[in-house]
Amino acid sequence: MDKRPIGIFDSGVGGLTVVKQIMKTLPNENIIYFGDTARLPYGTKSKKTVTKFSKQIVRFLLTKNVKAVIIACNTASSNSLEELRQTFDIPIFGVIVPGVEEAIHCTKNKKVGIIGTTSTIRSKAYETLLAQADSSIEVYAKPCPLFVSLVEEGWTENMVAKLTAKNYLTDLIEKEIDSLVLGCTHYPLLKRCIGETVGNNIKLVDPAKATARMVKEFLAKHKLLQQGETVAERYFYISDDTDTFSNMCKKALKKEYIPEVIDIEAY
């Protein structure tokens, strides 16, 4: 039994889709969330910059005595996971491996689409792991950078969102993929719009559930679970004050949380 919180971070609100699954799968766990609202998007930045930001965030989370860190951001997972693991002596989880496992589980015709930020797609993290797991899978990857801005703006179901989705996704549909990995934690907040665009024959793969399962198994195996009847505490931190964060928090988690603004550059 370990009461220390789990640290979870993203560039903004996207990681809340992972928080939601952690809250479902591990309801007793205390959570410290950090959203880097001052410095997003990460998806257009270099590996060096994303890794520098990620290290600062892990240092901040360590001041909150976290027992494990979840990188609830595909961009940081694909660019910085290895370096973070080498730098910090704490269990650190990314979202790519669980996403790959889920995609392999979902695809029947072995044609998988991956959408993510420019940086995630450029890293080829999904393609590499999918090819290692099953070389017969055909992978079609496409960066969809505008989706992040739409989510941060709260434009998840309007005409602009629908037209953007159609524009980005039409050629993936034409490849006859049967599974589409939402390789950016912001994208599940556009699930309805993306789902309507690709239709019922294409299954949307959200790595968040598989990530939560993986973290639970690890904590159980290492006797790090928080057990008992105590009500879990969840604290939210951001690097710049935005209305969007509170609004999306309410939408994603069905509860109002007031985030605290911190100076992440100080870490």
Site residues for ligand DGL per CB under 6 A:
10-12, 14, 40-43, 73-75, 117, 120, 148, 184-186
User: What residue type is assigned to position 208 of the chain?
Assistant: A
- Residues 33/5, Cβ–Cβ less than 8 Å: no
Closer CB to ligand DGL, 17 or 226, in the complex: 17
Closer CB to ligand DGL, 51 or 120, in the complex: 120
Give me 84's structure tokens. Answer: 């973070």
Q: Shortest distance, CB of residue 29 to ligand DGL, whole angstroms?
A: 21
Q: Shortest distance, CB of residue 184 to ligand DGL, whole angstroms?
A: 4
**Quick check: bond before 91 cis, omega within 30?**
no
Q: Shortest distance, CB of residue 243 to ligand DGL, whole angstroms?
A: 18
Q: Shortest distance, CB of residue 218 to ligand DGL, whole angstroms?
A: 21
Closer CB to ligand DGL, 28 or 149, in the complex: 149
| Residue among 109, 177, 165, 106 at smallest CA distance from 140 | 177
- Residues 96/207, Cβ–Cβ less than 8 Å: yes
Q: Is 73 a catalytic residue?
A: yes
Q: Residue 176's CB: how many other CB atoms inside 10 A?
A: 13
- Map residue 132 onto helix, strand or coil: helix
Q: Is 106 a catalytic residue?
A: no
Q: Per the residue annotation, which of 144, 184, 193, 249 is the catalytic one?
A: 184
Q: Per the residue annotation, which of 73, 144, 193, 249 is the catalytic one?
A: 73
Q: Shortest distance, CB of residue 225 to ligand DGL, whole angstroms?
A: 26
Closer CB to ligand DGL, 80 or 117, in the complex: 117
Q: Residue 57's CB: how many other CB atoms inside 10 A?
A: 28
Alpha helices in the chain (DSSP H): 16-25, 47-63, 74-87, 96-106, 118-123, 125-133, 146-153, 159-174, 191-198, 207-221, 243-253
Q: Which residue is nearest to ligand DGL (CB)?
A: 43
Active-site residue numbers? 73, 184
